[in-house]
Amino acid sequence: MKYKALIISIKGTKLSKMEKILLSKGKPWGVILFKRNLRSARQIKNLTSNIRTIMKNKKFPIMIDEEGTSVSRLRHLINHNISAKFFGNLLYKNKEFTKNIYRHYINSLSKILINLGININTIPVLDVLRNNTNKIIGDRSFSKDKKIVKELGNLTVGYLHSNKISGVIKHIPGHGASISDSHKQLPRISFNLKKLNETDFYPFKKSKAKFAMTAHILYSKLDNKYPVTHSKKIIKNIIRKKLKFRGILISDDISMKALKYDLITNAKKSLDAGCNLALYCAGNINDNLKLIKSLPYIDN
């Protein structure tokens, strides 16, 4: 089966007529859900079931960004007011205890997601914190210690896989050095390859994750023209060769202001640079339709 190289988003808590047509005729690779789509457990189950019925695929990818404290789409349904940084601090104090607690936490979260019909969670965040890291990352990161970030990142991916949930490591090859928010503007980082490789790239190396999400960041010493999502140089030479990431590479949201072009161009440039899938999160049906028409098919 061939699908478009696009992950779409929808507007409300149930599919509109046009969204049903978009799914059945357009064949997007996957759907990502946000708080606007999620009202109750019964409603979410109905929604995910309807999506898969239309797609005629029981394993059709339905994603969510359910990290914890600051990024929780299911905050009104489940109480896990806990952050990645909490577990990073805990691991620093007591490794074996933390591994045990964290396994139970991820197992519990995964069971909830599976029950709701969600099979991909866009965790873990593998960005290494610095003193001046923008607050958009904040406690979403495990630690300032790259080894703690890598260890908990590897544990997250393993625990998710054991629960038949796929994780998405992000924001490859590292967002921690950014002092600005890529939702609002393009962050620019002038560190050289050696410094980036020592710290920011470290948690991403040889990850067993099936998916990774790119950083909308311009590393001026690596590619002074294009941000990672649009950079053939960085995707080929850093993400694929140096970090040895072998999985499916997803762009971060192509509607974010860090990317300067229109949606279609942002998506096409992402794919041309080496991303396997473009991610669109705003849920506008007209934009979804334009993207579906403009992007190529890929083998699922």
Could you read off the pLDDT of 167-178 as tens digits, one per residue? 999 999 999 999
The pLDDT score that the predictor gives to residue 230 is 98
The pLDDT score that the predictor gives to residue 228 is 98
Amino acid at 237: N
Amino acid at 198: E
Could you tell me the pTM of the whole model?
0.96
Q: How far is CA 173 from CA 18, 99, 108, 239, 269, in A?
A: 36, 25, 29, 7, 18
Q: How far is CA 22 from CA 32, 285, 300, in A?
A: 14, 8, 18
Per-residue confidence band for 76, with pLDDT thresholds at 50, 70 and 90? confident
The pLDDT score that the predictor gives to residue 142 is 97
Report residue 288 as tokens: 């979804």
Residue 300 pLDDT > 70, yes or no? Answer: no
Hey, is 201 helix, strand or coil? coil
**CB burial string 23-38: b at 16+ within 10 A, e below:** beebbbbbbbbeeebb
Residue 95 pLDDT > 70, yes or no? Answer: yes
Q: Summarize the confidence of residues 46-54 as an average pLDDT.
A: 98
Per residue in 236-291, pLDDT (tens digit) is 999 999 999 999 999 999 999 999 999 999 999 999 999 999 999 999 999 999 99
